[in-house]
Amino acid sequence: MRILPAQAGSGIQFRRTDLDDFMVEANERNIAKVSYATSLMKKGVLISTTEHLLSACIGVGLDNAIIELDNLELPILDGSALPLVEMITRVGLRRQRRRRSYLQVLQPVEIREGDKFIAIYPADGFSVSYRIDFPPPIGVQAIEVSLMDGQYAHEIAPARTFGYVEDEKTLRDMGLIRGASEENAVILSRAGTIRNPPLRFADEFVRHKVLDLIGDLALAGRPLLGRVVADRAGHAMHTALVQRLLRDPSTARITVSPAEPADLETVPAVETGLAAGRS
């Protein structure tokens, strides 16, 4: 995978170098399979497990980039967004001569599925309130965090993905987690044990759900101005919220930042990349 600079206003785009440089834009029109991860598809070309990278882009304020891949799935690395944030930070960001635009929420949008819930409400900044309820040893965890004050890199990016060892066979039978190991996830048992300690946060699990949410909401195509509230939601509900926002013009509008009059789009100063096995 390589991250390259891109033209102002182009957003985040994926380039499949193994398929004649076919481009797949990271936007809601290309949302495809959404289950245990968020994937994009355009004309049959798939980009799998996009949420961690897109989350890192939003977290560091990267607006425009081309992500080159030689396979269908992004590297999972350590299961968090921290290595991606470090890659981008290492090469730095360059401002471009275009004002950054935001999607400003104008009225509440709420989605319920049984006891699951996700909503976004008007606000001047971007914040997330998330609650999860999993079997032991996780239980109930909740967090509220603002994403407009630089907290992302320290408070959200290091949180790793997680899974229960009892679900491993089912997921592998579905063709998922083919490269999963204790190097790229926190492995749990419903008996109450945790492998791959120590946890990076006491509430690392809900922080990772926030990480995923930020990446999924990036498919709106620009940063959001709104307050997101989620209760036991997941990738499918995250992306459904994006689609609901964009398909009803009364719910949101495109605007420049009210707080940053000189807010400009950014691009990687130079290309950066890595080589890694499949996730």
Of 52, 41, 53, 39, which is closest to residue 2 (Cα–Cα)? 53
Beta strands of 159-233 (E only): which ranges?
A: 162-164, 186-188, 194-195, 224-231
CA distance 52 to 97: 27
* Dist CA 260 CA 212 (whole Å): 26
d(Cα 261, Cα 47) in Å, to the nearest integer?
Answer: 35
What token pair was written down for 232?
A: 């036991």
Active-site residue (options: 52, 208, 235, 238):
235
The span from the CA of 83 to the CA of 52, in Å, is 10
Decide: 211 and 203 in contact? Cβ < 8 Å: no
Q: Please confirm, yes or no, whether 154 is among the known catalytic residues.
A: no
Do residues 141 and 166 lie in contact, with contact meaning Cβ atoms separated by under 8 Å?
Answer: no
Phi-psi group of 133: left, alpha or beta (phi > 0 → left; psi -120 to 50 → alpha; rest → beta) = beta
Specify whether the CB–CB gap between 40 and 31 falls below 8 A: yes
How is residue 206 written in tokens? 């809900």
Nearest C-alpha neighbor of 72 from the set 53, 36, 46, 43: 46
Residue type, 244: R
The SS3 call for residue 165 is helix
Cα(172)–Cα(221) distance, rounded to whole angstroms?
Answer: 32
- On the question of a cis peptide bond just before residue 137, with omega within 30 degrees of 0, the verdict is yes
Residues with a catalytic annotation lie at: 235
